[in-house]
Amino acid sequence: MQTEDGRYIPSQESFEQLLSERFMLAEKLIKEDIENGLFTAEEADSFESLHEVTDPNCYVSDEGEPASSMEKDLLKHYGTEDWNNYWQILIDALDSWLRCGMKGSVIDQLNDGILLKRF
């Protein structure tokens, strides 16, 4: 879809797919790090608290790359502010999931649609 100023933005379905894949990977990596003893579940009670024991930004990146090839393709017309908003959505959803004691899946944070409406 193209905006009035000529920028391309992905469809709602594509954006949800991007976020879902990123969330599933982040959740998997966090749980693996807890299981491997890198930090405890108590130390992972928020995104901010993870900064004390690890670099939590690695959970919202793609193996050291700030964006996956799918993100780069679908979000290629994003400006710096758009990318910052995108990363903040990822961080906010992860933070909410962590603050809820990692109950359910981080993907559940998409169910109310509030994060998606921010775009």
Domain map (residue ranges) of the chain: 12-117
Higher pLDDT, 13 or 31: 31
pLDDT score recorded for residue 48: 95
Most confident option among 39-48, 80-89, 108-117: 39-48
Q: Is 25 exposed, middle or buried (0-12, 13-18, 19+ CB in 10 A)?
A: middle
Which tokens sit at 95? Answer: 């933070």
Q: Determine the angle formed by the axes of helices 80-99 and 12-35, rounding to 10 degrees.
A: 50
The model carries a pTM of 0.78
Residue 98: CB partners within 8 Å, gap ≥ 6?
30, 44, 45, 46, 47, 49, 50
Which tokens sit at 101? Answer: 């004691």
Mean pLDDT of the 21-27 span: 87
CA dihedral of 117, 12, 25, 46, whole degrees rounded to 10: 0
**pLDDT per position as a tens digit, 79-101:** 778 778 878 888 988 998 999 99
The number of angstroms, rounded, from the C-alpha of 65 to the middle of its chain's C-alpha atoms is: 14
Mean pLDDT of the 18-42 span: 91
Which tokens sit at 42? Answer: 């108590």
How many CB atoms lie under 10 A from the CB of residue 42? 9
